[in-house]
């Protein structure tokens, strides 16, 4: 399954991620998605994406929970792009838990960035530096 994702981005769980039931709370999965996508973008573009004239804002997210994770699990977030549009990028994501050297699928999700002008917040074309990096993750 991991081979379906061109990038696996490491994201550790944190002590505060666990809820009263002893596992990572459902809303925290979205934080893992957000962290992996933006950390990868910064790494892949070699730029501080917060200082571009266009910002990627989240327009849609979803998550399907398939297995439990808990601190101190080490995670890998799989990234691929199912759609690279004029002003938006649709990421398909997967969270894998490292279970003694093998990766177990814990969740899958979708994350849509829409690019907007940093001042007017109106949709604009994806910045070229982002488009170039994103093109490497596009899958059929």
pLDDT category at 100 given cuts 50, 70, 90 is confident
Is the predicted pLDDT of residue 99 greater than 90, yes or no? no
- List CB contacts of 79: < 8 A, sequence separation 6 or more: 5, 6, 7, 8, 9, 36, 37, 40, 91, 92, 93, 137
Q: How many CA atoms lie within 13 A of 30 on its CB side?
A: 11
Q: Supply the pLDDT for residue 29.
A: 97
What architecture does CATH give domain 2-135?
Roll (3.10)
Indicate the domain borders of the chain: 2-135
């Amino acid at each position: 399954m991991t081979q379906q994702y061109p990038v696996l981005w490491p994201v550790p769980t944190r002590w505060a991620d666990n809820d009263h039931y002893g596992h990572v709370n459902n809303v925290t999965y979205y934080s893992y998605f957000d962290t992996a996508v933006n950390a990868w973008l910064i790494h892949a573009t070699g730029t501080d994406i917060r200082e571009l004239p266009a910002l990627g804002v989240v327009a849609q997210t979803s998550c399907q929970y398939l297995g439990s994770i808990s601190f101190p699990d080490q995670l890998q977030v799989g990234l691929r792009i199912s759609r690279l549009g004029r002003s938006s990028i649709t990421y398909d994501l997967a969270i894998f838990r490292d279970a003694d050297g093998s990766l177990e699928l814990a969740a899958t999700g979708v994350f849509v960035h829409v690019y907007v002008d940093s001042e007017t917040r109106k949709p604009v074309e994806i910045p070229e530096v982002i488009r170039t990096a994103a093109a490497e993750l596009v899958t059929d």
